[in-house]
A and B are shown apart, each in its own frame.
Chain A
Amino acid sequence: MKKNSRFYIGLVGVALVVTYLIWTGVSDAMVYYLTPQELLARVSTDPSLHEVGLKVSGRVVPGSYQPAREDEPHRFVVSDLENSEVTFPVVYEDLLPDTFTDEVEVVLEGRYGPDGVFEAVTVLTKCGSRYEATPEELST
């Protein structure tokens, strides 16, 4: 048993290193997942939300999309999935996914600036609608 104890120490050592890596990794890369409604409600009381990474899912408001021009980012407005009254503007520098349209459900990652504009780093279109259609959609 004594001989094996050294290996338990090794085991604990590996476990500790991995835990440490996970711990530091998580605290550096945490992204809060919020709905637009939650975001807007909480940011008014907790300005620290301007500082952290956010992941927000919502729907692009039809007609709000302005494609990127020379040195100008893409601009569009995103609304809450349940409460379409709640909206905020989004700017995005990079390429939009091909499935992006003017009314699609999107998942945004980025930061919510103090100026009330969401600076997106990634924009994903949600795949529930991308890969599978509901029978209701088919009937139209």
Chain B
Amino acid sequence: MTALGELALWIALPISVWGLTLAFIGGKTDRGDLVLSAERSVYVVFFLLILTSLGIINAFLTDSFQYWYVASYSSRELETYYKFSGLWAGQRGSLVFWALLLALFSSVAVFQNRRKNREFMPYVTGVLLTILAFFFVVLLFAEVNPFERLPFVPADGQGLNPQLQNYWMTMHPPTLYLGFTAFAIPFAFAMSALITGRLDTRWIVLTRRWILVSWFFLTNGIVFGMRWAYEELGWGGYWFWDPVENASLLPWLTATAFLHSIMIQENRGMLKVWNMSLVILTFLLTVFATFLTRSGLIESVHSFAENTTIAFIFLAFMGGVLGVGILLIVWRLPHLRSENHIQSFLSREASFLLNNLILLGAAFAVLWGTLFPLITEGFTGEQISVGPPFFNAVNLPIGLVLLALVGIGPVIAWRKASRRNLTRNFALPIALGLGVLVGFLIAGVREGMALVTFAVSAFVTTIIVVEFWKGTRARARIEGEGYLKAITHLVSRNRRRWGGYIVHVGVVVVFTAFAGAAFDVEVRQTMDPGESVSITSPYGHTYDLTYQGLSTSRSQHMWQWVALMTVQRNGESAGALTTEKRHYLVNQQQATEVGIRSTPLEDLYVILAGLEDMQGAADNDPDSQRATFRFLVNPLVGWIWYGGLIISIGTLIALWPGRPATRSVTRDAAVAAGSGSPAGGPTPRPTQAEVG
């Protein structure tokens, strides 16, 4: 099985090269048979990658330690569940996994369009197979072949790093990779639009849903990563501005910009060059993110390997994509002219454009900070890096302006809005925002950035709530529906708009959670069993934690030292927490498991920082239970996960398919069906069947 997987990887390269060659030739010469053969190559490559992946998983399940990759990431004792995730645990497997997901999405795109949008498909197929071929070259020739054999067969593997043995960590990379690879489809369609010269909004309409799918997974991938860092890394934080984290944030920022700017092109026929550039840039950044995590180019908490061959291949590929992209845009420049221009600063176009510029500014700042060591090394010969203070200083103001725009954008009309209108629409939200600001000031809060964030959040939330209210009321009045029915129909008839607003609510919730970090409380205490510590939460109540003692155990896989804490909130019992140190036998590594007590408003977070005498504790010596703990009260942390969930729901609403797009009716029938309803209107007829 494993050998078959290896063989599949070797034949996937020639097949993809064959397919991409035929796709381009077939497209150029209008040879339908060549194009069909190329499209079949996509399916075949997907099939081969399934075999390859099964081969790797099989090697993990059968403990085939003669393979370097298996020996490095698995061990006999590893739970089966984590053996499956071995496919993406390390660099080599995750490159296969990346290609597998890309091949999956490519096959779906080719299959969906097997009888429609045919003018795009030869080049879409060609571009996708080119990307796949690139990954096969990397896998086979950049010293990262997952099937590389060791000269001997080790008795056991190294085991998976304990910090990677976490539910969120098994979810995080695949989700992120789904986001990265899904974006290749819009990129391929954009390239195809440039090559064929069909440069109206068609390619956008066709890929809009793919863009949302990609954005959905990117967002979730980032949130899962934060969750993992929060639960597993044990420093109490969720974002470290680590190069690898930044790498996943970059395509998210540009994809978000792209999601908004395509709306300007659809509505106003503007920004065509801009959108083409953004789609290329975002695709490049997804490749860059993969490259950064997988090359060790920059010092990072989790960039694993250092390998210069792979760096050169990646850089060459990215340079090639960039060069070809720019050439194509320049070549098609005469067809990419704007049909309109912006009429006023006070228009939705202008606010979207500003949002784009700021998102790109943020992306540039993050990229700059991430690459700063390389830049300074190039110019001055010494590496100078910038840490979290830099990223916070730059991104906080940028984030706040963006947050305000989230509220402003949707209320301003397309084309031009008059000042009268603005005062009318903004009076209440601004008043409420200021009210929140004053309220917190009176309550004694003096954290400037947090205050501003809360005020802006209130402003945005008011705007969105008023939007929903007005829309529902108008619909209830016009269609004569009850409010519940009206709001359902309102959302279902324009999913993109209302789904987007729900996403915005989620964004506000997440930003509020970020601001909550300004009020974190931390206490460090060395304690003997029976001793207590008291912590005052920023909300005013007090936690008393009593260290009950340590229990030590040895299982097949590890030693565990589990400290038990009982919690009292304002003197009343509020359960218990455990936090533990582990020592994994297979790789002699230590790990800390934190104890978290989550409530909607705050988390109590306890870390077993250190044991005075681990050996003594292991021998169950009652006098060696002295331990150092770190206690954190993190207000509003949970709102990140809730906000993430709201964002996901909003995105799903926006991309949920309407009724089948191919249903065709004659005009008479449709009018007859429709004319019965304007007044009573009980038939739910979702429009917005976005062809996709």
Question: Which positions in A face B, CB cutoff 8 Å?
Answer: 3-4, 6-7, 10-11, 14-15, 17-18, 21-22, 24-26, 28-34, 38, 53, 55, 57, 67-68, 70, 95-96, 98-99, 107, 109, 124, 127-128, 130-133, 135, 137-139
Tell me if B526 counts as interface (CB < 8 A to partner A): yes
Contacting pair B589 A131 (CB below 8 A): no
> Given A26-B372, A135-B150, A95 and B72 touching (CB < 8 A)?
no
> Given A10-B354, A21-B393, A67 and B71 touching (CB < 8 A)?
no
> Given A18-B365, A32-B384, A131 and B161 touching (CB < 8 A)?
yes
Q: How far, in whole Å, are A15 and B383 apart by their CA atoms in the complex? A: 26
B474 cross-chain contacts in A, Cβ below 8 A: none
A15 cross-chain contacts in B, Cβ below 8 A: 357, 361
> Given A7-B353, A127-B300, A25 and B386 touching (CB < 8 A)?
yes
B592 cross-chain contacts in A, Cβ below 8 A: 98
Interface centre among A3, A24, A33, A70 (most CB of B within 10 A): A33
A96 cross-chain contacts in B, Cβ below 8 A: 610
Contacting pair A24 B306 (CB below 8 A): no
A57 cross-chain contacts in B, Cβ below 8 A: 299
Contacting pair A139 B301 (CB below 8 A): no
- Indicate which residue in B154, B162, B305 contacts A138 across the interface (CB closer than 8 Å): B154
B385 cross-chain contacts in A, Cβ below 8 A: 30-31, 33, 55
Contacting pair B71 A29 (CB below 8 A): no
Q: List 6 A-B contacts (CB under 8 A).
A: A4-B341, A4-B342, A18-B361, A22-B364, A98-B234, A132-B304
B358 cross-chain contacts in A, Cβ below 8 A: 14, 18
B609 cross-chain contacts in A, Cβ below 8 A: 95
B532 cross-chain contacts in A, Cβ below 8 A: none
Closest 5 CB pairs of A and B: A33-B383, A29-B390, A18-B361, A29-B389, A25-B393
Contacting pair A6 B345 (CB below 8 A): yes
Besides the known contacts A28-B390, A28-B393, A132-B91, 10 further A-B residue pairs in the complex with CB atoms under 8 A apart: A3-B343, A22-B365, A25-B389, A29-B390, A107-B299, A109-B387, A128-B304, A138-B150, A138-B154, A138-B158
Q: Mark B360-374, 1 if CB is under 8 A from A, else 0.
A: 011011001100110
B628 cross-chain contacts in A, Cβ below 8 A: 68
Q: How far is the CB of B237 from chain A (nearest CB, A)?
A: 12
Contacting pair B296 A128 (CB below 8 A): yes
Q: How far, in whole Å, are A44 and B387 apart by their CA atoms in the complex? A: 26
B350 cross-chain contacts in A, Cβ below 8 A: 7, 10
Q: How far, in whole Å, are A21 and B150 apart by their CA atoms in the complex? A: 50
> Given A14-B361, A98-B589, A29 and B303 touching (CB < 8 A)?
no
Contacting pair A3 B384 (CB below 8 A): no
Contacting pair B158 A14 (CB below 8 A): no
Q: How far, in whole Å, are A139 and B153 apart by their CA atoms in the complex? A: 9
Question: Which positions in B face A, CB cutoff 8 Å?
Answer: 68, 71-72, 90-91, 150-152, 154, 158, 161-164, 234-235, 296, 299-306, 341-343, 345, 350, 353-354, 357-358, 361-362, 364-365, 368-369, 372-373, 382-391, 393-394, 397-398, 526, 581, 589-592, 607, 609-610, 628, 630
A29 cross-chain contacts in B, Cβ below 8 A: 386-390, 393
> Given A14-B357, A68-B610, A131-B304, A25 and B390 touching (CB < 8 A)?
yes
Contacting pair A33 B341 (CB below 8 A): no
Please count the residue pairs between chain A and chain B whose beta carbons lie under 8 angstroms apart in the complex: 144
Interface centre among B91, B163, B382, B384 (most CB of A within 10 A): B384
Q: How far is the CB of A78 from chain B (nearest CB, A)?
A: 16
Closest partner residue, chain B, to A121 (CB atom): B387
Q: How far, in whole Å, are A132 and B143 apart by their CA atoms in the complex? A: 14
Contacting pair B384 A31 (CB below 8 A): yes
B71 cross-chain contacts in A, Cβ below 8 A: 135, 138
Q: How far, in whole Å, are A27 and B323 apart by their CA atoms in the complex? A: 33
Q: How far is the CB of B414 from chain A (nearest CB, A)?
A: 16
Interface centre among A29, A30, A55 (most CB of B within 10 A): A29
> Given A99-B589, A138-B71, A21 and B368 touching (CB < 8 A)?
no
Contacting pair A7 B90 (CB below 8 A): no
Contacting pair B68 A135 (CB below 8 A): yes
- Indicate which residue in A98, A135, A138 contacts B590 across the interface (CB closer than 8 Å): A98
Q: How far is the CB of B377 from chain A (nearest CB, A)?
A: 8
Closest partner residue, chain A, to B609 (CB atom): A95
Q: How far, in whole Å, are A131 and B368 apart by their CA atoms in the complex? A: 27
Q: How far, in whole Å, are A7 and B341 apart by their CA atoms in the complex? A: 10
Q: How far, in whole Å, are A30 and B526 apart by their CA atoms in the complex? A: 34
Contacting pair B154 A70 (CB below 8 A): no
Q: How far, in whole Å, are A103 and B345 apart by their CA atoms in the complex? A: 61
